[in-house]
Every structure is written in C-alpha cells, then in structure tokens.
Structure 1
C-alpha cells in the first residue's frame, strides 16, 4: 500500500486545514454510525429473511400437505359421488320394490280379511273340538286307569312267566339228561347186544340156539328202534319248549 504524502501548509493556511480535518472527522463519525446502522439493519433483515424463508418453507410444506389432502379429498368426493349414484339407482329400485310391496300389501289385506273370516270359523270349530277333547280326555283318564290295571296284571303275568321259564329250563335240562341216558346208557348196551348176536350167527352153535339168537336180535333191534324214536320225540319236545 502506497503511503500518502501529506504536505504541511504554511502557517497562513494552518487554521483552515484543522477546520477541514474536524469536518472530515465528523463526517467520518456520521458515516461510521450510518454504516453501523445499515449493518445492524442488514443483520435484522437477514434474520427476518431467514425467518421468512423458514416460514416460506413451512408454508410450502403445508401447501404440499394441503395439496395431497385435496387430492385425497377429490378422490373421496369422486368415490362419494359414485356411491351416491349407486345409492340413487338403488333408491329407484327400492321405490319400485316399495310400490310392488304396497300392491302386495293390498292383496294381503284382502286375503287377511278372508283369513279372518276363516279364523272365526276355525275358532268356532275349535270350541267344538275343545268340547270333544274334554270328553276324549275323560276317556283317556279312564283308559290310563285301565292301563295301570293291565300293567299290574302284566307285572304279575311276567312274574308267573319267569317262574314258567325257570320250570321250562329245568324241564329242558331233564330232557337233555333223558336224551343222554337214551343215547348212551340204553342204546349203547342194545348196540352191543346186536353186535354179539351178529357174531354168534357166524359161529357154529348147538341146535336150538339159532332161534334164541334170532329172538335176542329181534328184541334188540326193536329196542334200538324204540330208543331212536324216543330220542327224536325228546328233541321235538325240546325244540317246542325253546320256542
């Protein structure tokens, strides 16, 4: 930086120079104050501008939100309008249905009048049936009394039947024992006698023995037939008792 060379004036002009420096100092002081004021104002304006920018950003954000909400609201409005049109169409159909139902109600009212007349007739018939029902109930009470008597008789019969069944069971056991005796205790010796008679016929025997053997064989055969018939009859009786 170049240094300024200040020429010192002569004494003749010295007082004027001092006056000029004071004026400049005053002007400089005023300019510094003005500059400080302007700087202060600029700082205020900058702060206000920052606040304004933040407010503008906030407003823009709010506007975007409102725009999004408006889009959603428009879509909702379109949906509601569509629903209203549907409801209007449904209302038209409902009105037609209501007209039809009213017509049907009038028909039903006419039918109801007829039905009421029929109901009066039926009530009259019910009263008659009620009288008949009272008589029928009395008859039913009598029948129930008779049923109780029959139940008591049936109970006695069941007891008697149980005794009969026990007797029948013992009877069947006796028949089975008789069948066993007929089949084994009686028939087995008869079969043995027949076998012996058959073997004796093949042997050489003295005169007169053949007639004895024939008689013994005939009697044994007759007894065998009898035991078979007896066994058959016992089986028949056993089956009858089981039934």
Structure 2
C-alpha cells in the first residue's frame, strides 16, 4: 500500500513539473511578444522622428502655431521615453521569473530523487524486518526442540534412577553419567536463557526501527504537503500579479503596488524554502542519531 501511495505521489509531482514547464514556455512566449512590441515601438519612434522633421518644416511656414507644436512634440518624446523604460522593466521581470521557474524545476527534481531513495530504503528495511522475523521463527523452533530434548533427558534420568536401584554394581558409573547429563542440561538451560535475551533485544530493535520508519515516512508526507501547498501559493500570487502587470496597469502607483505584492510573495516563498531546508536537515540529523544509537 505504501508503494502505491509513493507511486501516486510521484505521478502528482511529475504533473506539477509538466505544468511548471508549460508555464515557463508561456513566459518565453510572453518575452518574445514583449520584444516584438519593443521593435514595433522603435519603428513608431522612427516614424515620430520623421513626423518631427515634417512638423519642423511646417513650423517654418506656420509661425503662429510654433510654440503649441513644440510643446506637443516634447510631450510625445517624453511619453516614448517612458514607454521604452517600461518595456525594459517588463523584459527584466520576465527574465527573473524564468530564472525562478528554472530553480523550482530543479528543486522538484531533487525532491523526486529523494522520494525514490526513501522508497528504496523503506524496501530494504522491510526486507531486513522479514529476515529478522524468519530468524525469530527459527529460534523459536530451536527452543521447542531443546524443550523436547530436556523432557527426553528427564525421562532418561528417571529410567537411569530405576536402573540404579537394580544395578548397584554400576552405581558409580551411572552416577558419573548423571552428573554429565545434568551439566549438559544446565548448559542447555543457560543457552535457552541467552537465546531468550537475544530475542528480546532483537524484538526491541525491530520495534525501534519500525517506529522510526513511521516517523520518517510521516516527515516525508508532511514535507510533500508543505511543498504542494505553501510553495504553490506564492507562485500563484506572482503569476496573477504578473498577468495584472501585463494587462491592467495604468499608472506608476499601481505598478509600485503590484511590485510590492510580488516582493511579498517572493519573501514568503523564500521563508518557506528556509523552513523546508531546516526541516530536511533536522530529519536527516534524527536519521543519523537513530542509526548511531
């Protein structure tokens, strides 16, 4: 069941990576569109320059409108300068957004690799657990066999005692055999106690390993939950604000407000990235400490 769950989570991560790649391609298309618009505006600027030449020639013949036309030309030049600056800012923002998407794709690939490693470790630990269980079964069979041997030896001792009553001549010899048999029984009892102690220690190690596995898996699930929710929220905010910047910004104040929102979302994303890094480091330290213990 855990393997199917891990496979499903990996499929979800892959779909998210495909979506982010699509977003990256859309950003590149937007960047190309912006560059085309810059080229169009450059052509418009050249046309405006030609119009300025014509206007200057007309001003030579129209002295009465000279001051009015000069003011209009100055205003048009200021607007063109402002529009060029805005286009350059848009291009820089698109470049930054593309770099952030590339970084996020790399992070997703790293997380997917970590999940694969965790699944491999989990499979190995389950195999070790099955081996330990098989060893416990064998040890229990050995203990049962030793108990049977002990009962058989007790019956032999009883028969030996009956024989000693009727065989006085071999009393010393049989007494020595009884001493040897008792020594063997004592040794077997000691071995039985040692095996029981080993079984207790083995069971405790298995319980500790299983408890850590559950904690480790829970940590990975929490990490995936945090990634899928907390990372997606700032990214969605940045994308929405970028869309607003592209279509709805009409003033410098609105632009500054939107930039503030982008900065806030980026800071939230940076904060969560630091929290996630610290969380992963702590999880790794717990793993190292558990293995050392």
TM-score, length of structure 2 as denominator length: 0.32
Task: From the CA coordinates, give the structure whose radius of gyration is larger.
Answer: 1
- Which one has more relative contact order, counting CA pairs under 8 Å at least 6 apart? 2
TM-score, length of structure 1 as denominator length: 0.37
